[in-house]
């Protein structure tokens, strides 16, 4: 086999490997990360940040900061029932694409399940995270999605949890989920920061 054909075959093989890797880590509908990948990635990032927090003066560095955000598209089932599943799929695609374009390249978004997404914000404390995602919430609530001649208004509710000392990754996920739950049950279309209840 000549060199030209060998180079061509090598490129094709690399392309197929890349496609297979994408199938393993990306949600097929929204093209953001899938739950399996983001859970592994969150554990890795959590360990790195925890080590940094243990070894340096985090007051002078954002490297020891980590926040995660659960977000849920409000009244999604109702939209599916009214406009159909194709419209629901389009809403999921548009919302995830908008969020992906509004977060930093170092941040990560994944479809966690159904209409729920998880965002990892490295080097972000509660206040940083709130400012970032509240801006996204406002942008989404002011947009309409056109589907077969209908304009669909979409809102999202978000729950934020930030890393504190002596906390596990499971606790961080649970806290973000509780903040989201609080937002969903207190009016929706809002961003809620998890606050530890005082004893």
Q: Which of 28, 34, 26, 191 is nearest to 118 (CA)?
A: 34
Residues 6+ apart with CB under 8 A from 199: none
Q: Which of 66, 79, 158, 80 is nearest to 118 (CA)?
A: 158
Question: How many Cβ atoms from other residues are within 10 Å of residue 148's Cβ?
Answer: 9
Choosing from 115, 122, 134, 138, the catalytic residue is 115
d(CA 176, CA 43): 15
Q: Label residue 166 left, alpha or beta by phi (over 0 means left) and psi (-120 to 50 means alpha).
A: left
- With beta carbons less than 8 A apart as the criterion, state whether 125 and 67 touch: yes
d(CA 99, CA 107): 11
**Three-state SS annotation for 38-101:** HHHHHHHHHHHHHHHHHHCCHHHCHHHCEEEEEEEECCHHHHHHHHCHHHHHHHHHHHHHHHHH
Per the annotation, the verdict on 174 as an active-site residue is no
Q: Which residues are catalytic?
A: 115
């Amino acid at each position: 086999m000549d060199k030209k054909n060998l180079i061509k075959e090598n490129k094709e093989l690399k392309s197929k490997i890349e496609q297979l890797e994408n199938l393993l880590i990306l949600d097929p509908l929204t093209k953001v990360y899938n739950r399996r990948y983001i859970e592994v990635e969150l554990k890795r990032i959590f360990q790195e940040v925890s080590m940094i927090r243990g070894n340096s003066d985090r007051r002078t560095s954002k490297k020891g900061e980590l926040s995660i955000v659960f977000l849920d598209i409000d009244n999604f089932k109702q939209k599916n029932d009214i406009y159909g599943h194709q419209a629901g799929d389009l809403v999921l695609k548009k919302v995830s694409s908008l969020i992906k374009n509004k977060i930093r390249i170092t941040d990560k978004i994944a479809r966690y399940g159904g209409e729920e997404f998880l965002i990892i914000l490295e080097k972000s404390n509660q206040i940083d995270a709130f400012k970032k995602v509240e801006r996204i919430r406002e942008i989404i609530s002011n947009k309409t999605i056109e589907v077969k001649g209908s304009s669909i208004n979409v809102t999202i509710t978000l729950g934020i949890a930030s890393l504190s000392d002596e906390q596990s990754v499971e606790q961080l996920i649970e806290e973000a989920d509780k903040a989201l739950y609080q937002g969903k049950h207190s009016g929706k279309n809002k961003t809620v920061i998890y606050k530890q209840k005082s004893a």
